[in-house]
Amino acid sequence: MSPEAWEPPLNRPVLPGTARTDYERYLNMEELLALQKGADEWVHRDELLFQVVHQSSELWLKLCWNDTAGAAELVGDGDIPSALRLLGRASMCLRFITGQLDMLEQMSPWEYQEIRKVLGHGSGFDSPGVKELRPAMARLGEAFHATLVQAGVPLLDVYVHGREHEELYQLAEALMELDEWLQTWRIRHYRVVARVIGDRVIGTQGTPVEVLGRLIHRVEYPELWDVRNELTALSQST
Ligand code: HEM
């Protein structure tokens, strides 16, 4: 018998579980793919599109807030380069969920009204991902400011003398990137909502869509946005 014959077949599952392959076992595919309504339960076939966009957004948000929380801890420990790696990924998650909002505009606004009737009081205000992300971003902001205090570098100097404070500058910009993507998601979400259900209607949890229009001005790190104004003023005064 040739030595190859002794090799165990690589397509045989070795992980615990009952699914046919290790791919399905490791990724809990059976459970994952059972998380969407079946065709026999749809009030409209676009329920699948609607559930896939929301569920995948929540998965990206889960990665996003975990990486943001991890980055906050690393900044607290003084490890800025490792925090930067995580923050690059966290921002990318928000970029992805912003991109996939496009898919919702593939639904007919009239036919979406059928789906809306089966959502109960379901509302994005109860998104677990966004609920976790905001406190994680707050902790990251606190860790960033504590680092500045410890280094004795005011925020304005991080920018005016950015080349001397390379790591602090990179960190400040990573926070900005995350904040800008969250706001970009909000702005885009508002436009999608206006395109699908209108901008003068009431949401499933009683919130007028006009309120979403005001929320698009919300940022998590106002001081980082404001320092740009200070830089312009400083530059004009010298
Ligand atoms: C056709 C698609 C969508 C419609 C019509 C829609 C509609 C709305 C409305 C009307 C609100 C105001 C609250 C309320 O329901 O009363 C809201 C809030 C919200 N929605 Fe959506 N939404 C859609 C898709 C999404 C998706 C894909 C996500 C992804 C997670 C999402 C996340 C949120 C969040 C987080 C809020 C809270 C407001 C904020 O943090 O800015 N929505 N949405």
Please give the number of the atom of ligand 1 that sits closest to the Cα of 107.
1
Residue 34 to residue 48: CA distance in whole angstroms:
12
Q: Give the count of beta carbons closer than 10 Å to the beta carbon of residue 210.
A: 13
Q: Is the CB of 49 under 6 A from ligand 1?
A: no
Q: Is the CB of 104 under 6 A from ligand 1?
A: yes
Compute the Cα dihedral for 79, 83, 85, 88 and give only its sign: negative
Task: Find the helix or strand (DSSP H, E) in which 63 lies.
Answer: helix 47-76
- Residue pLDDT tens, the chain, 238 long: 565 667 778 889 999 999 999 999 999 999 999 999 999 999 999 999 999 999 999 999 999 999 999 999 999 999 999 999 999 999 999 999 999 999 999 999 999 999 999 999 999 999 999 999 999 999 999 999 999 999 999 999 999 999 999 999 999 999 999 999 999 999 999 999 999 999 999 988 888 999 999 999 999 999 999 999 999 999 999 8
Ligand 1 mean position, distance from CA 64 (Å): 18
Go through the domains of the chain in sequence order and give each one's CATH number: 43-237 (1.20.58.480)
CA 212 to chain centre: 18
Phi, psi of 208 (to 5 degrees): -65, 140
Ligand 1 mean position, distance from CA 216 (Å): 12
pTM score: 0.95
Q: Is the CB of 57 under 6 A from ligand 1?
A: yes
Name the residue among 6, 24, 8 with its Cα closest to residue 16. 24
